[in-house]
Amino acid sequence: MVRRGRKRRLEMESEYWRLVLSGVGTVEACRIVGIGRKTGYRWRAENGGVPSVRPS
């Protein structure tokens, strides 16, 4: 069963930012997480290029 909704999106976004901060490029991080590159670029633009602070 596929999980949908905000929690799933937050998990994907957190994984995206973890990859980007570890040095993986945006396009490659998007591929690994399973999102479109436009989504990755949108997340970067929405956050000014830095991950938002979320408790782990």
Is 52 within the bounds of a domain? no
Is 18 within the bounds of a domain? yes
The pLDDT, as a whole number, for residue 24 is 94
Is 1 within the bounds of a domain? no
Domain span holding position 22: 6-46
Is 38 within the bounds of a domain? yes
Is 20 within the bounds of a domain? yes
Residues sharing a CB contact under 8 Å with residue 31, sequence separation 6 or more, in sequence order:
37
pLDDT tens figures, 6-39: 677 889 999 999 999 999 999 999 999 999 999 9
Is 15 within the bounds of a domain? yes
Domains held by the chain: number: 1
CA 9 to chain centre: 8
The pLDDT, as a whole number, for residue 42 is 93
